[in-house]
C-alpha cells in the first residue's frame, strides 16, 4: 500500500462568505466557510482549497480571518488561492494557518515570484495554479496554452513547457484547471492532465469539469492525477465526499477511507 | 496548570501546530516560544520544523535554542514533528550534506526517485499526502490509533536510524522508511499530526496525556 489519491473540495469565497451556494440540509449557515469546512472535514475531505474571489480590495483582508477561523477548527491541509501576488501575501496566509498557497496570474506575469516564494517558504507550500485551454485544431497534435483573466486572455505560453518551468522554479504542486471543461460537468480533460502529470516530477491536481463520480475516477486512471479537485458536485450535495471516496476505492484506487 | 511549549525558531508556520495542541490540551497552557528559559520550564515540549536542513540548523543556532532543546529531549515528554524529527539525527544528505544535532544515531536521506506508482508513472517527490503508518512497537502515543491508519506527509527526505530499536513506525513510499522514532521520553514523527484529522489529534492528545 502506498499513497492515497486525494479528494479536495474547493470553496469560492467572496468577502468572507462561501458563494456558489452550498446545499447541506443540516447546516445552519451555508455561507459560513467554517461550517462548510467543518462539514467537509467530517465527510473525509483530504484537504480543502479556498479560492478568494473577492473583487474589492477593501474586503481582501477578510480571507485572512476566514483562514484563521477555519485553521482553528479543521485539522487537515488548507490551501488558499486568489490574489496571491507578493511574498507578503504568502506570509500572511501561512501565518493565518494556511498550509499552502496557490499562485496563478502572478506567476505568469513574474515567474521569478515562484522561485522567490519557494526559496522563502519551501516548495511544500507553493502550489502553482495553471488555467489551460486547448488551442490545437482537431487534426493537430494536442496543444494547450495558458490563459489568464478567467480564461479570456491567451498568453501564448505552452502549458507543458510552463509546468516544467514552474517545477524547476520550485513549485511543490500543480493545480491544473481545464478552462474548456470548467463548469461543463462532462469530466476532466484527461489528455491535459496526463500530459502534465508525465511531464513534471511533482504532484498534479486535476480540476475543471467534474459532473459525476466516474469523472473523479478517470482523473486518476486516465489522467494520472495525484489529487482531484471539485466544487459543485459537493456543494450541491449531489454526492458526499464519503460517497466519492468509496466509489473511487471500489474502482481500485487507493483512498483514505 | 501544565505548560506545553512549542519551540519557535522562525521556521515555518507554527499556528497549525499550536492550534491543534490547544484543541486537545484543554487543561494546559500552550505557549509558542524561542526563549530558552521558557523551554526549560515547560512540562512538555513540541519541536516542529519545516524547510531545508541547513536553514533549520542555522535557525536553531540563531535562536540559541539548541541547549534547551537538547535538555528537553533528554528529560521531559518531547515530540518532534517533520524537520523536528530529522534534525535529531547525525547527518543529512540535504544541501550537499548537513550536520544535524546528533542526538539519535542515523542519517537523513532523499527518496531515490527510482520507484513507480500504481499508474506506472515515477513516484512524485515530495511525498505529499496520506500514507499508512505501520506501528513497529506498542507505545502510549499510538493509543486509540489503529495500526495502518493514514497520516498526512509532506517531505522529500526521510530518517534512517542506525538502531532498529528506535523505530516506532514505518511507512511505504516506493521504499519502506522510518516515519516515527521513540526512545524513553522522546517521540518524533515525519508526518504532520496537526494536519492528520482525527488520528492526528488523537496522537497529540496521547502526547499531552503521556505519563513517563
What pLDDT, on the 0 to 100 scale, is given for residue A206? 98
Q: Is the model more confident about B143 or about A59?
A: B143
A123 touches chain B (CB under 8 A): yes
- What's the mean pLDDT when you consider all of chain A? 92
CB contact under 8 A, B113 and A227: no
* Min distance B16 CA to chain A CA atoms (Å): 6
Domain residues for the domain of B95 are 2-208
State yes or no: pLDDT of A25 exceeds 70. Answer: no
CATH of the domain at B161: 3.40.50.880
What pLDDT, on the 0 to 100 scale, is given for residue A121? 85
CB contact under 8 A, B13 and A256: no
What pLDDT, on the 0 to 100 scale, is given for residue A213? 97
Closest partner CB to B15 (pick from A1, A2, A95):
A95
Grid cell for residue A238: 449531489
What pLDDT, on the 0 to 100 scale, is given for residue B11? 66
* Neighbour-count burial for B141-176, b at 16+ CB within 10 Å, e otherwise: bbeebeeebbbbbbbbbbbebeeeebbbbbbbbbee
Share of chain A above pLDDT 90, in %: 77
- Our answer to whether residue A52 is catalytic in this structure is no
* Neighbour-count burial for A152-161, b at 16+ CB within 10 Å, e otherwise: eeebebbbbe
Cβ atoms of A179 and A147 within 8 Å: the answer is yes
Portion 189-248 of A in contact with B at CB < 8 A: 197-198, 201-203, 220-221, 224, 226-227
Cβ atoms of A172 and A128 within 8 Å: the answer is no
- C-beta neighbour count of A183 within 10 angstroms: 11
A119 touches chain B (CB under 8 A): no
**Could you give the CA distance from residue A103 to residue A117 in angstroms, rounded to a whole number?**
10
Q: Which of A75, A100, A200, A218 to mutate to test the interface with B (most CBs of B within 10 A)?
A: A75
B107 touches chain A (CB under 8 A): no
Q: How many CB pairs under 8 A join A and B?
A: 102
Say which residues have a Cβ less than 8 Å from residue B146's Cβ, sequence separation at least 6: none
**By C-alpha distance, which of A223, A221, A209 is closest to A253?**
A221
Grid cell for residue A139: 487534426
CB contact under 8 A, B126 and A123: yes
At A204, the pLDDT band (50, 70, 90 cuts) reads very high
**Could you give the CA distance from residue A70 to residue B38 in angstroms, rounded to a whole number?**
29
**Among A14, A131, A182, A226, the one annotated catalytic:** A131
B152 touches chain A (CB under 8 A): yes
DSSP string, B186-207: EEEESS-GGGSHHHHHHHHHHH
Residues A70-117: tens digit of each pLDDT: 999 999 999 999 989 999 999 899 889 899 999 998 899 999 999 999
Q: Which helix (H) or strand (E) holds B29?
A: strand B28-33
**Could you give the CA distance from residue A32 to residue A60 in angstroms, rounded to a whole number?**
16
CB contact under 8 A, A76 and B195: yes
What total of structural domains would you count in chain B? 1
Burial group, residue B211, by CB count within 10 angstroms (0-12, 13-18, 19+): exposed
What pLDDT, on the 0 to 100 scale, is given for residue A152? 85
ipTM of the complex: 0.91
* Min distance A203 CA to chain B CA atoms (Å): 6
pTM of the model: 0.94
CB contact under 8 A, B117 and A256: no
Q: Supply the Cα-derived Rg of chain B in whole angstroms.
A: 16
Portion 120-149 of B in contact with A at CB < 8 A: 121-132, 148
Closest partner CB to A75 (pick from B12, B155, B201):
B201
Q: What does the pLDDT profile of chain B (212 residues) look like in tens digits?
A: 999 999 988 766 688 899 999 999 999 999 999 999 999 999 999 999 877 888 889 989 888 899 999 999 999 999 999 999 999 999 999 888 999 999 999 999 999 877 877 767 788 888 999 999 999 999 999 999 999 999 999 999 999 999 999 999 999 999 999 999 999 999 999 999 999 999 999 999 999 999 98
**Could you give the CA distance from residue B44 to residue B37 in angstroms, rounded to a whole number?**
13
Q: Is the model more confident about A150 or about B132?
A: B132
What pLDDT, on the 0 to 100 scale, is given for residue A251? 97
CB contact under 8 A, A122 and B148: no
* Min distance B121 CA to chain A CA atoms (Å): 7
Q: What is the arithmetic mean of pLDDT over A147-169?
A: 92
B176 touches chain A (CB under 8 A): no
What pLDDT, on the 0 to 100 scale, is given for residue A84? 93
A71 touches chain B (CB under 8 A): yes
Distance of CA A250 to the CA centre of its chain: 24
Amino acid at each position: 500500500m502506498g499513497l492515497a489519491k486525494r479528494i479536495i473540495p474547493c470553496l469560492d469565497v467572496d468577502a468572507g462568505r462561501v458563494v456558489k451556494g452550498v446545499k447541506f440540509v443540516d447546516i445552519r449557515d451555508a455561507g459560513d466557510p467554517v461550517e462548510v469546512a467543518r462539514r467537509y472535514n467530517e465527510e473525509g475531505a483530504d484537504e480543502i482549497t479556498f479560492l478568494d474571489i473577492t473583487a474589492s480590495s477593501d474586503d481582501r483582508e477578510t480571507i485572512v480571518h476566514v483562514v484563521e477561523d477555519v485553521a482553528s477548527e479543521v485539522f487537515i491541509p488548507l490551501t488558499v488561492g486568489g490574489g496571491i501576488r507578493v511574498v507578503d501575501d504568502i506570509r500572511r496566509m501561512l501565518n493565518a494557518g494556511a498550509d499552502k498557497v496557490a499562485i496563478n496570474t502572478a506567476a505568469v506575469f513574474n515567474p521569478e515570484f515562484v522561485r522567490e516564494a519557494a526559496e522563502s517558504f519551501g516548495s511544500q507550500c507553493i502550489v502553482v495554479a495553471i488555467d489551460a485551454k486547448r488551442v490545437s485544431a482537431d487534426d493537430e497534435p494536442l496543444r494547450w496554452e495558458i490563459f489568464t483573466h478567467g480564461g479570456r486572455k491567451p498568453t501564448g505560453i505552452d502549458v507543458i513547457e510552463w509546468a516544467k518551468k514552474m517545477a524547476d522554479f520550485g513549485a511543490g504542486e500543480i493545480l491544473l484547471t481545464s478552462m474548456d471543461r470548467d463548469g461543463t460537468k462532462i469530466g476532466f480533460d484527461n489528455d491535459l492532465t496526463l500530459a502534465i502529470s508525465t511531464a513534471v516530477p511533482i504532484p498534479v491536481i486535476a480540476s475543471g469539469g467534474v459532473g459525476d463520480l466516474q469523472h473523479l475516477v478517470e482523473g486518476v486512471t486516465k489522467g494520472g492525477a495525484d489529487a482531484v479537485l471539485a466544487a459543485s458536485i459537493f456543494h450541491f450535495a449531489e454526492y458526499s465526499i464519503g460517497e466519492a471516496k468509496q466509489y473511487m476505492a471500489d474502482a481500485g484506487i487507493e483512498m483514505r477511507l | 496548570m501544565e505548560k506545553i511549549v512549542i519551540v519557535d525558531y522562525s521556521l515555518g508556520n507554527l499556528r497549525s501546530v499550536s492550534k491543534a495542541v490547544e484543541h486537545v490540551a484543554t487543561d494546559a497552557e500552550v505557549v509558542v516560544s524561542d526563549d530558552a528559559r521558557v523551554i526549560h520550564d515547560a512540562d512538555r515540549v513540541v519541536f516542529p520544523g519545516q524547510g531545508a536542513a541547513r536553514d533549520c540548523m542555522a535557525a536553531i543556532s540563531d535562536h540559541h535554542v539548541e541547549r534547551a532543546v537538547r535538555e528537553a529531549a533528554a528529560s521531559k515528554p518531547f515530540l518532534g514533528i517533520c524537520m523536528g524529527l530529522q534534525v535529531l539525527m547525525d547527518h543529512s544528505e540535504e544541501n550537499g550534506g548537513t550536520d544535524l544535532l546528533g542526538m539519535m544515531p542515523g542519517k537523513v536521506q532523499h527518496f531515490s526517485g527510482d520507484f513507480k506508482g500504481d499508474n506506472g508513472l515515477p513516484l512524485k517527490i515530495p511525498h505529499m499526502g496520506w500514507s499508512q503508518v505501520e506501528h513497529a512497537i506498542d507505545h502510549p502515543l499510538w493509543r486509540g490509533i489503529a495500526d495502518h491508519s493514514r497520516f498526512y506527509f509532506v517531505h522529500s527526505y526521510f530518517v534512517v536510524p542506525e538502531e532498529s530499536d528506535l523505530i516506532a513506525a514505518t511507512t511505504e513510499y516506493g521504499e519502506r522508511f522510518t516515519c516515527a522514532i521513540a526512545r524513553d521520553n522522546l517521540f518524533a514523527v515525519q508526518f504532520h499530526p496537526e494536519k492528520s484529522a482525527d488520528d492526528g489529534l488523537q496522537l497529540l492528545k496521547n502526547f499531552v496525556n503521556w505519563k513517563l
